[in-house]
Amino acid sequence: MKTLSKLLIVAILAVLVACDKNDDPKDNPVFTVKLTDSPAGYDAVNVEILSMEANMGNGWVQYPVVNPGVYNLLDFTNGNTLLLIGNTTVAPGVMKELRLILGTNNSVVVDGISYELQTPSGQTSGYKIKMNQQPLELGGLYRLVLDFDVSKSVHPTGNDKYMLKPVIRGYLETAIGSIAGTIAPPPGAYYVQALNQTDTCGTFINNVTGDFLITTAMPGTYNVTFYANPGFSNKTVGGVVVSAGNITQMGVVTIE
């Protein structure tokens, strides 16, 4: 995805607003937040996720995630997600910024060797996601997907050192679509990418079943390219239409 969707603001507000005693609790917004990852060329990218914080205009408020701990971000591709915040009811409000707080146990694995992944400000001020002010309305149900783009977030700095500068985007599930299917034979290709003039997204293909699921595609028409393993040829399928809130099924795609 090219830009941070304003929908992130709407959804994340629910995480961060203090309760208003004058509101009927049954009318308050309900939200969930889960994380997925855009694939990258590393063996593993292990990040210790502790909490999320928000600036509501009068200082930062911290909210712990459901299960703080170290996670390999590359585990959350091809439809797999990490639940950060479960169903939570809060009052409406307005937020200005959101940020992610990390621990110190972070590493990247390259060619089987583990290296420290430096996270400047990750444990103190955190990683900010700036956004325009946005109200959260009463009665809303907000299911947010955070797309952690590892390929743009991990930066080699020389001498076997790596630094994390997260690139994270947020979308409401109802505003994005997905692309799914199966390649035949399963060893034919390892990666699938959907591309149009405004958006690029992709995922690794399951090398046993041949199944794939691209989970964060904005509505539009895409060219979908399958990147082949040795002995096979790349293949592009055009005119794949994605609509908000739906999964576009490509069926079985033959890789020759």
Q: What pLDDT is recorded for position 186? A: 94
Q: What is the pLDDT of residues 121-169, one digit of tens each?
A: 655 567 776 555 555 566 777 677 778 888 888 888 888 888 888 777 7
Q: What pLDDT is recorded for position 93? A: 66
**What's the helix, strand, coil split of the chain in %, to 5?**
10, 55, 35
> In a 3-state reduction of DSSP, which class is residue 12?
helix
Residue 82 banded pLDDT, cuts 50, 70, 90: confident
Q: Does position 26 have pLDDT exceeding 80, yes or no?
A: no
Residue 234 banded pLDDT, cuts 50, 70, 90: very high
- Average pLDDT of the residues in 191-214: 90
Residue 8 banded pLDDT, cuts 50, 70, 90: very low
- What's the whole-model pTM score? 0.72
